């Protein structure tokens, strides 16, 4: 008795097995969380240190260098970048994918703490933050008003809204992007001089008279009383009335020599919503948090927050990444059910009988749902990758049901009873089903053990697909034979439609048999053709365009503009308003957000949000060149328009980022970068290209006469502190207002520091007590310096960044070649952002492809106990690969991770067809004594119908992917086109090329039987 006989003889047992699979699958599907991609952690630890008033060179030498040397010793760092600009040092440690975020933060905190005593005394303490996930926040919530000033909006959000959002599960940070309250003391140099005071004197008065005293308490025998004091100042009015000097009985107050206001901590940046000043709350995820869950919680909290807002304050949600995620998942689920329906219709048409179609109609949904149990057991989620694997699985799992029902049907047509047909049909198909199931599992196993981004994304894809195929194999061996024996009609009762279908396939089999017999008479021609196709694959790989993943229409385009180095906030706002006017005239426009001077001192960053997909008839890809053209007309800014990365883990920035590194000076670095930039622009491969830093930042050096300073009895520290107090804009201490602390910042009024010559009117106090004009000890010299001093892995660096008009792979290849031509000794290159992802992961699946091919060969060799048969089965794989590659060369899609997974899938799918022919041909040689030629011709003709049905089922299962529109359509199209074209062409080649190789290479089993019989007979004769 065979294993399959048990379930044919015991239909209740077969039904119970299937019902258990159904129950476990449904329950598992209900328990799994829904997210965009499999869980992965991409962590960036940022160390920001302020040194108000310090030059970029000073910041680099005294803050950035010692800190990054210590940070570089930490484990798990992929690469380290640093930016030293006026008054600020920013170091970013980009950790390896899935490196523990908490461990990274703890170790880097320890490294930074070890260097605190090395930093300048006037530098503020380093601020260390950690972000896990995309560089772009999950959501940006805009709060704006026509009457409330921005600092007041920010203060309200800090006190009321931010705590509510921060408390939601999964919210790592609710970051405020807007101006914050600060007590600004705008000094008047002339008035100061008139009352015989200097800015340094004012600073000392503020420090001494705004003092937070921790008094303590009184303690008696039985009672203790806490004490507090009002030694600090709690309002702008109190600051204004603060006595700073007494002169002959006259009290001079702070308001007499300065304009005191509760203003903004910084006037160098501004956030805009549709052109209106606003404050944004950026919602960032905590490590491991589900974006869909967090977005749901935030949106659920917004109505309550909005209801409690002051009447003049309004709120909008201009960016919500979860909308695209949610719509993408809905699209894939719809595609899943469309594919199931289409496949079942095709099965019915091929079988010609509703009764016969019942078996696949039950087996396919059962296998898909049962696969959910495997997913839950492995700790997976319902995400775009696992759902996509289920779409592909439809075309694979239906194969098992088709070949079972078709084989049982063939036995019934041969005159057997339904019960005997089910027994015999299942026995014949048991070995091929097991072989095909293990083959597909073997194909995907190497993907499941990959590392890096591709491994993190496709591990769940691979094992979900493999698990679903295993469930399908179980259903095919237990339920399908029993069900076929119950529902198929007995021999002799065909309907008219069944007869037509039978006649069609019989005629097709006859025509194919004759064509195959003819082709095998000149099999050398077929083999030569196959070799030519195989050799052409290498050329097609080189001709195809490559990228990591296709861009998706996410309904939003980001823009990044750079103003001149001398630009003020007023300058950027002027051109930002021009941009807003142009945005509102473009098709598909819905709303915009804009950040001025927040991401970088002279940068404009924002998003052009489009209407929902259902409300617009223009795609993101069509709008992008129009937007780029219009925004390029704004000559005051260099602006690039680019999409959000389609894959997680990118460090952000423009799509193409080529990093030049060297140990030489920035002047030499800038010259080399200019040469490379010129080559890039001349190539015509880039829509936009620029250097990340410009060597044109005007700097005026204040030259201090040391001898004159010494004559006055002063030190360089006295002069430096005086100038810093006037111009630096750093805070000196804090004051308390309604339970929160705010910075106190003295600085000379803007009107008194418009030009360098204004410094001549400032005064310092000599050792004699007299005021001395600053002009008596200083002079000026002018020069230029880099806009920022950037480093990559502790070497001086400059990034060539832009938007390619060609796929990422072509842009990377060109720039590598250009760098090799341009770079002198001592210069190297690296990559950031999307480009780094492509360089690291773009070819990761190529190795996996060959590994899958090797694994499947070994698995087949073990199953067939032959080294030849697996080679024959796999000979059609290059044919299908060439078929899919042809469409890539023609430009229908690119070589990316989705098409590469499609190519790997083709290995298993096309192999299934080869298994059906080779296994049956071997059986015919054994059982009926046919020679290789006769066996393969008959086996191919008999197996033609299941091969066509299974191949056609998978091809039509790809139709919903090929015609997909909306969120996520580009990646689904890429994998769908690869499988559909590869399988279609591969099946055609399999039907003719495989038999030719079988005749040429297969083992002659009849000869083995004759030798075995002869060997058995010889001992008998001698006896």
Tell me, yes or no, whether 852 and 993 share the same domain. yes
pLDDT score at 1005: 67
Q: What is the pTM of this model?
A: 0.81
Three-state SS at 923: helix
Among 800, 561, 563, 486, smallest CA distance to 669 is for 800
Token duo for residue 554? 């996410």
**Rounded Cα distance, 728 and 746, in Å:** 9
Cα–Cα distance measured from residue 12 to residue 318, given in angstroms and rounded to the nearest whole number: 57
Looking at 642-683, list the stretches that DSSP marks H as alpha helix, in order from N- to C-terminal side: 666-683
Predicted confidence (pLDDT) per residue in 366-412, tens digit: 998 999 999 999 888 888 888 888 888 887 788 788 888 878 888 88
- In degrees, rounded to 5, the angle at the alpha carbon of residue 692 between the alpha carbons of residues 691 and 695 is 70
Confidence of residue 418 (pLDDT cuts 50, 70, 90): confident
Residue pLDDT, tens place only, 136-157: 788 899 999 988 999 999 999 9
Q: 3-state class of 70 per DSSP?
A: helix
Confidence tier at 1008 by pLDDT (50, 70, 90)? low
The answer to whether residue 39 is domain-embedded is no
What confidence score (pLDDT) does residue 662 get?
92
H-helix or E-strand spanning residue 779: strand 778-785
Q: What are 530's two structure tokens?
A: 């196959």
- Mark whether 847 and 726 lie in a shared domain: no
| Residue at 795 is within a domain | no
Local confidence band at 928 (pLDDT 50, 70, 90 cut-offs): confident
- Residues 876, 994, single domain; the answer is yes
Q: Cβ distance 404 to 476 under 8 Å?
A: yes
What letter would DSSP give residue 180? -
CA distance 713 to 707: 10
Instruction: Evaluate whether residue 916 is within a structural domain.
Output: yes
pLDDT band for position 1018 (cuts 50, 70, 90): low
DSSP 34: B
**Does residue 914 share a domain with residue 991?**
yes
Do 507 and 941 meet the contact criterion of CB atoms below 8 Å apart? no
pLDDT digits (tens, 9 = 90+) for 573-603: 999 999 999 998 999 898 888 989 888 778 8
Which burial class, exposed, middle or buried, applies to 452 when counting CB atoms under 10 A from its CB (0-12, 13-18, 19+)?
Answer: middle
Bridge partner list, 184: 261, 745
**Tokens found for residue 927:** 């059982």
> Taking residues 109-130, what's their average pLDDT?
89
Taking alpha carbons only, the member of 583, 595, 681 closest to residue 630 is 583
C-beta atoms surrounding 12 within 10 Å: 9
Cα separation, 180 vs 279, whole angstroms: 10
850 lies in the same domain as 923:
yes
Kindly report which listed range (199-203, 338-342, 558-562) carries the lowest average pLDDT score.
338-342
Indicate whether 629 belongs to any domain: no
- pLDDT value of residue 990: 80
**Per-residue confidence (pLDDT) for residue 830, from 0 to 100:** 94
Same domain, 850 and 935: yes
d(CA 125, CA 947): 70
- The answer to whether residue 917 sits within a structural domain is yes
Percentage of the chain modeled with pLDDT above 90: 21
**Is a pLDDT exceeding 70 seen at residue 294?**
yes
CB < 8 Å & 24+ apart, contacts of 223-230: none
| Residue 924: predicted pLDDT | 85
In terms of Cα–Cα distance, which of 375, 233, 323, 341 is closest to 553? Answer: 323
Confidence band for 93, pLDDT divided at 50, 70 and 90: very high
In terms of residue numbers, what domain contains 249?
A: 182-218+227-264+697-785
**Structure-token pair, residue 94:** 């980009």
Q: What is the pLDDT of residue 1009?
A: 54
**Is residue 903 domain-shared with residue 943, that is, in the same domain?**
yes
| Contact residues for 854 (Cβ-Cβ < 8 A; gap 6+) | none
The answer to whether position 80 is within a domain reads: no
| Domain end position, chosen among 754, 785, 816 | 785
For residue 937, the domain's CATH number is 1.20.1640.10
Q: Are residues 366 and 514 both part of a single domain? A: no
Specify whether 467 is located in the same domain as 530.
no
CATH number at 245 reads: 3.30.2090.10
pLDDT tens digits along 212-236: 888 888 888 889 898 888 888 888 8
Residue 875 reports pLDDT greater than 90 = no
Helices (H), 36-129: 56-59, 65-71, 101-113
What is the rounded average pLDDT of the residues 468-490? 87
pLDDT tens-digit map of 831-854:
998 899 888 887 778 888 888 888
What does the alpha-carbon distance between residue 651 and residue 404 come to, in Å, rounded to a whole number? 50
Q: Contact, 828 vs 658, CB < 8 A? A: no
Q: Do 194 and 259 share a domain, yes or no?
A: yes
In a domain, 961, yes or no: yes
Please choose, from the candidates 652, 557, 552, 550, the residue with its C-alpha nearest in 3D space to the C-alpha of residue 611. Answer: 557
What per-residue confidence (pLDDT) applies to 812? 92
Say yes or no: 428 and 457 in one domain: yes
pLDDT in tens, 933-955: 888 888 888 888 888 888 888 88
Mean pLDDT of the chain: 86
Strand intervals (E) in 113-197: 127-132, 139-145, 171-177, 181-187
> CB–CB of 695/784 below 8 Å?
yes
Round the CA-based radius of gyration of the chain to a whole number and report it: 37
The predicted pLDDT at position 1015 comes to: 54
Q: Which of 491, 513, 531 is the endpoint of a domain?
A: 491
pLDDT of residue 1: 58
* Domain end residue (candidates: 767, 785, 803): 785
Angle at 391 between CA 385 and CA 397, to 5 degrees: 120
- Per the structure, how many domains does the chain have? 3
**Domain shared by 864 and 965, yes or no:** yes
If we measure between CA atoms, which residue out of 591, 655, 644, 835 comes closest to residue 136? 644
pLDDT confidence tier of residue 672, bands split at 50, 70 and 90: very high
Q: What is the Cα–Cα distance from 217 to 228, expressed in whole angstroms?
A: 8
Residue 777, domain member (yes or no): yes
Rounded to whole angstroms, how far apart are CA atoms 933 and 534? 24
Residue-level pLDDT at 400: 81
């Amino acid at each position: 008795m065979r294993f399959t006989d048990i379930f044919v003889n015991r239909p209740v047992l077969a039904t119970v097995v299937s019902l258990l699979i159904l129950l476990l699958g449904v329950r598992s599907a209900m328990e799994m969380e829904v997210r965009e991609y499999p869980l992965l952690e991409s962590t960036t630890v940022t160390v920001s240190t302020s040194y108000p008033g310090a030059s970029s060179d000073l910041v680099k030498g005294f803050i950035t260098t010692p800190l990054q040397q210590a940070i570089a010793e930490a484990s798990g760092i992929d690469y380290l970048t640093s930016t030293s600009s006026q008054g600020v040092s920013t170091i970013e440690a980009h950790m390896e994918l899935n490196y523990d975020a908490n461990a990274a933060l703890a170790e880097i905190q320890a490294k930074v703490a070890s260097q605190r005593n090395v930093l300048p005394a006037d530098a503020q303490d380093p601020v260390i933050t950690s972000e896990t996930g995309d560089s772009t926040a999950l959501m940006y919530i805009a709060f704006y008003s026509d009457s409330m000033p921005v600092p007041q909006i920010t203060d309200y959000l800090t006190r009321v809204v931010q705590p509510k959002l921060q408390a939601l599960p999964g919210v790592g940070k609710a970051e405020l992007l807007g101006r914050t309250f600060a007590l600004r003391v705008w000094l008047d140099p002339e008035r100061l001089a008139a009352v015989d005071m200097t800015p340094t004197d004012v600073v000392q008065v503020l420090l001494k008279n705004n003092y937070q005293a921790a008094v303590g308490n009184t303690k008696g025998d039985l009672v203790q009383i806490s004490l507090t004091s009002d030694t600090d100042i709690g309002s702008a009015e109190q600051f204004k009335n603060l006595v700073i000097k007494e002169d002959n009985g006259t009290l001079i107050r702070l308001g007499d020599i300065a304009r005191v206001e509760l203003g903004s901590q910084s006037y160098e940046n501004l956030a805009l919503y549709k052109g209106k000043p606003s404050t944004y709350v950026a919602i960032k995820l905590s490590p491991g948090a589900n974006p869909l869950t967090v977005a749901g919680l935030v949106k659920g909290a917004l109505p309550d927050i909005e209801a409690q807002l002051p009447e003049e304050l309004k709120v909008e949600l201009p960016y919500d990444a979860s909308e695209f995620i949610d719509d993408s998942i809905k699209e894939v689920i719809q595609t899943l059910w469309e594919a199931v329906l289409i496949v079942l219709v095709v099965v019915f048409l091929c079988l010609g009988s509703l009764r016969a179609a019942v078996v696949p109609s039950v087996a396919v949904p059962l296998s898909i749902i049962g696969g959910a149990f495997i997913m839950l057991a492995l700790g997976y989620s319902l995400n775009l990758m696992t759902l996509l694997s289920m779409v592909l699985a439809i075309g694979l799992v239906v194969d098992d049901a088709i070949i079972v029902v078709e084989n049982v049907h063939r036995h019934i047509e041969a005159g057997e009873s339904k019960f005997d047909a089910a027994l015999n049909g299942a026995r014949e198909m048991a070995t091929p089903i097991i072989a095909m199931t293990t083959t597909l599992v073997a194909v995907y196993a190497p993907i499941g053990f990959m590392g890096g981004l591709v491994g993190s994304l496709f591990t769940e894809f691979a094992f979900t697909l493999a698990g679903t195929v295993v469930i399908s194999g179980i259903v095919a061996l237990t339920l399908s034979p029993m069900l076929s024996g119950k529902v198929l009609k007995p021999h002799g009762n065909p309907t008219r439609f069944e007869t037509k279908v039978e006649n069609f396939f019989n005629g097709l089999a006859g025509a194919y048999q004759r064509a195959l017999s003819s082709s095998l008479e000149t099999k050398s021609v077929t083999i030569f053709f196959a070799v030519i196709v195989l050799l052409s694959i290498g050329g097609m790989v080189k001709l195809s365009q490559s990228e990591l993943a296709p861009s998706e229409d996410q309904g939003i385009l980001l823009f990044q503009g750079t103003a001149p180095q001398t630009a003020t906030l007023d300058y950027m706002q002027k051109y930002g308003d021009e941009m807003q006017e142009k945005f509102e005239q473009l098709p598909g426009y819905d709303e915009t957000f804009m950040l001025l001077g927040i991401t970088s001192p002279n940068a404009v960053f924002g998003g052009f949000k489009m209407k929902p997909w259902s409300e617009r008839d223009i795609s993101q890809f069509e709008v992008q060149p129009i937007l780029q053209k219009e925004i390029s007309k704004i000559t005051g800014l260099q602006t690039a328009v680019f999409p959000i990365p389609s894959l997680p883990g990118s460090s952000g920035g423009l799509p193409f980022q080529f990093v030049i590194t060297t140990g030489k000076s920035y002047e030499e670095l800038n010259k080399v970068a200019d040469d490379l930039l010129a080559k890039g622009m001349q190539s015509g491969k880039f829509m936009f290209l620029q250097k990340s830093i410009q060597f044109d930042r005007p700097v005026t050096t204040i030259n201090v006469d040391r001898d004159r300073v010494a004559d006055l009895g002063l030190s360089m520290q006295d002069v430096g502190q005086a100038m810093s107090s006037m111009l630096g804009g750093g805070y000196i201490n804090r004051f308390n207002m309604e339970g929160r602390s705010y910075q106190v910042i003295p600085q000379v009024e803007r009107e008194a520091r418009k030009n360098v010559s204004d410094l001549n009117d400032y005064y310092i106090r000599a050792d004699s007590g007299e005021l001395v004009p600053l002009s008596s000890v200083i002079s000026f010299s002018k020069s230029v310096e880099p806009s920022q001093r950037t480093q990559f892995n502790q070497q001086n660096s400059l990034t060539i960044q832009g938007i390619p008009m060609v796929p990422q792979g072509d842009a990377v290849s060109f720039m590598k070649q250009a760098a090799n031509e341009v770079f002198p000794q001592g210069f190297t290159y690296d990559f950031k952002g999307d480009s780094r992802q492509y360089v690291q992961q773009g070819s990761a699946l190529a190795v996996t492809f060959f590994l899958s091919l090797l694994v499947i060969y070994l698995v087949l060799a073990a199953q067939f106990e032959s080294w030849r048969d697996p080679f024959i089965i796999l000979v059609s794989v290059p044919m299908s690969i060439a078929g899919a590659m042809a469409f890539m060369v023609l430009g229908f899609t690119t070589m990316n991770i989705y098409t590469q997974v499609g190519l790997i899938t083709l290995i298993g799918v096309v192999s299934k067809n080869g298994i059906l022919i080779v296994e049956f041909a071997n059986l015919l040689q054994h059982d009926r004594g046919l020679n290789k030629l006769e066996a393969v011709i008959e086996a191919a003709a008999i197996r033609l119908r299941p091969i066509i049905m299974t191949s056609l089922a998978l091809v039509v299962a790809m139709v919903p992917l090929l015609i997909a529109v909306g969120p996520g359509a580009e990646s689904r199209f890429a994998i769908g086109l690869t499988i559909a074209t590869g399988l279609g062409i591969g099946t055609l080649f399999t039907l003719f090329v495989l038999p030719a190789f079988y005749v040429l290479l297969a083992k002659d089993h009849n000869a083995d039987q004759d030798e075995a019989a002869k060997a058995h007979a010889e001992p008998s004769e001698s006896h």
